[in-house]
Structure 1
């Protein structure tokens, strides 16, 4: 159809629904052709599973066919009304409610498997031989790939990559002083409370960070400062620098700004000859911890910290 040539892959779902509709329409006519007029095509997965056993719980049916339990419950009720399913079965486990095919349902299953299913299988096989691509195998492959990573996740990644191209990482200038303070104060106050060390470094970044040999980087998104991060010089035998004061505006989250800032800070530390990079955080900040781990930071223990909110310390070996 020309509409799909114009929309491109954006309309993949619509195209698949249209294809499904064609199959469903034909399926209804096929059931009629085999004198199975009161059978709905949507029942078939449940019906097939029940035809293989005497009884089964709705939970097990749902798990086996990949449907939700409410969806299976609705189908079972429709099949009970049609006289194909019995829900008054006695289970060996009295805590479980089980269902099974009625005698009419079993007779229909035997007839369908002997005639209708055989004819349909052969018809589909012929269709597959006529096609350039094997749809059956392709669907199985797509199901596997989407289980590994959903389409939603894949679109989120592309959105992040596209928007990150509009992010520019720049060196700190006095005009970014308020942004450096406000962005940090905003996220700290959202999860914890401001501490004395925070006030010193955020109110006087020149004195407490830059003049001591550190750096502050600012992430601009379309020229607006929406993310900041500092590289703080440490007077420590184990560490040269600490990555700290990373903050990203909530309205800029999802644009890869944290990753871009972190990578820029790591590169700056390497340029300054650092062998290890240190940071402090809190485990309730799961996205941040995941980000640090993705960057290569590993958990360490036993160091003193001036921050009450710190309950995890990490390091990155820059020589690896």
Structure 2
């Protein structure tokens, strides 16, 4: 069975590289056929220089989308072969410009027929395909520029791993996990305060028995995240979203978002219209998550927490 049929689309890069190598091998034969003493890898640099009166390495790199060191290496090889020459810009002595040598100019004349024949050959090949690969490559390049393959794979990794996450109601057996998970992030950035001890040491009496709720995120049945809804003393807000914590071992899997969404849905089921939270701008990832959950910054309220420097609310419609 063909390797690519077995492995599927995850070998996209390998398949494109093999196609590229196949075309490059043919390109060497084509250059020989026309008596053009160029290496195929030199072509982008040669073409840009042949079309410009004067151009620098930086300008070439930008034009062809290669790195400056890569273009610099190619230029050195072509100068050594006598195809290019360099000189200082008369208007800016700090700028080195590249030009075709006499040998390079001869190649530029010789290669014109090759350009015509290669372009016609490619056009003929494209007519024989069901799908326009040239347009497809343009689309693929655009998509990769918008979002790298690494980030796309990371997204799929999160989706797959999130299927092993369960959000469940708090039980007494998770009391130490509730405290440990929160204590870990608080002490990493700040210090434990009186209100932390009240809620973390007494979750039943301080949160649950007062009409609040706690949700626990399990990853492969291990508690890795927690979040609470606390019933505030005033009646302006229905709940305060608080004590959200996710283990550093599983951060990046989107568990915080799953917890936040689950807590908001639970608040909705209890008829909540407004949810309040407090945080600190040092916690950039947390603030970003709250914004994604549609929390909006509000003017500061009186807070019992020394570390709180931002308050946010969510209006549930």
Structure 2 length-normalised TM: 0.95
Does residue 31 of the first structure (1) align with residue 69 of the second (2)?
no
**Which stretch shows the higher mean deviation, 171-180 or 199-208?**
199-208
Which of 261, 264, 268 aligns to 1:263? It is: 261
Does residue 73 of the first structure (1) align with residue 45 of the second (2)?
no
Separation (CA, whole Å) in 2 of partners of 1:106 and 1:304: 77
Separation (CA, whole Å) in 1 of partners of 2:285 and 2:58: 34
- Deviation digits for residues 36-92 of structure 1, max 9, x if unmatched? 23x221111121111221222222221221111111111111111111222323242
Separation (CA, whole Å) in 2 of partners of 1:57 and 1:288: 46
What does residue 44 of structure 1 align with?
43
Offset, 1:219: 0.3
Aligned in 2, Cα 1:250/1:120: closer, same or farther, shift over 3 Å?
Answer: same
What does residue 302 of structure 2 align with?
304
Offset, 1:139: 0.3
Q: CA contact under 8 A between 1:91 and 1:98: conserved in structure 2?
A: no
Q: CA contact under 8 A between 1:276 and 1:315: conserved in structure 2?
A: yes
What does residue 161 of structure 1 align with?
159
- Deviation digits for residues 218-271 of structure 1, max 9, x if unmatched? 001111000111111112343221111111111112322111100111011111
Separation (CA, whole Å) in 1 of partners of 2:143 and 2:233: 49
> 1:95 is paired with a residue of what secondary structure?
coil
Offset, 1:177: 0.7
What does residue 291 of structure 1 align with?
289
Separation (CA, whole Å) in 2 of partners of 1:110 and 1:252: 61
Aligned in 2, Cα 1:205/1:88: closer, same or farther, shift over 3 Å?
Answer: same
Consecutive unaligned residues in structure 2, runs of 5 or more: none
What does residue 275 of structure 1 align with?
273
Does residue 316 of the first structure (1) align with residue 314 of the second (2)?
yes
Alpha-carbon RMSD across the aligned residues, in angstroms, is 1.6
Q: CA contact under 8 A between 1:89 and 1:100: conserved in structure 2?
A: no
Separation (CA, whole Å) in 1 of partners of 2:93 and 2:297: 50
Separation (CA, whole Å) in 1 of partners of 2:79 and 2:152: 41
What does residue 185 of structure 1 align with?
183
Kindly report structure 1 stretches of 4+ aligned residues shifted beyond 3 Å: none
Separation (CA, whole Å) in 2 of partners of 1:311 and 1:74: 53
Does residue 118 of the first structure (1) align with residue 116 of the second (2)?
yes
Aligned in 2, Cα 1:134/1:189: closer, same or farther, shift over 3 Å?
Answer: same
Which of 228, 240, 243 aligns to 2:241? It is: 243
Offset, 1:26: 0.6
What does residue 10 of structure 1 align with?
10
What does residue 88 of structure 1 align with?
87
Structure 1 length-normalised TM: 0.94
Separation (CA, whole Å) in 1 of partners of 2:315 and 2:152: 31
